[in-house]
Amino acid sequence: MPGPGVALPVARFVRSVGMGSHHDDDLARDDRIAPAVLAAAQLALGQWRARLGATGMAALKAVPGLLAEVDQHAAHVRDALADGAGRVRRVLLAAYADGVADRAAAAGWSADEVVAGDWRRASWPSVRLLAVCVLAESAV
């Protein structure tokens, strides 16, 4: 089951391409990289929202306990990815989501378990990725 170990490889990748919190201003000023990176992140997050977010957001109201579980997952992700000002960047969120999904898929997970809308027995990766969808709504 993926856990805190996912955030470290994502953080290493982000630093390796100059996107760590101390390089965010440099990235934002680089007109060649920033638009493409942000567009890719927005595309990836949009795909997660389309795949899990629609049924997941409805389930937050209907499935007892799911909102609390997603809130806890969102807090863990926020703690792992937020910059010094407490902001979560879309680029980091997208990279994190892909890392969670890749690791979970390698262990046999598929988002198909919740695509039909049955979130009552959603696995850890599905709940974590729903938390990413929730965070993406307010990410910068």
What is the per-residue pLDDT for 37?
87
CA atoms within 13 A on the CB side of 82: 12
pTM of the model: 0.77
What is the per-residue pLDDT for 18?
46
Low-confidence ranges of the chain (pLDDT < 50): 1-24, 27-28
What is the per-residue pLDDT for 99?
94
What is the per-residue pLDDT for 42?
92
Integer Cα distance of 12 and 7 in angstroms: 9
What is the per-residue pLDDT for 5?
46
What is the per-residue pLDDT for 140?
78
Within its chain, how far is the Cα of 29 from the centroid?
24
H helix intervals, the chain: 7-16, 24-29, 34-48, 54-62, 66-81, 90-106, 112-115, 124-136
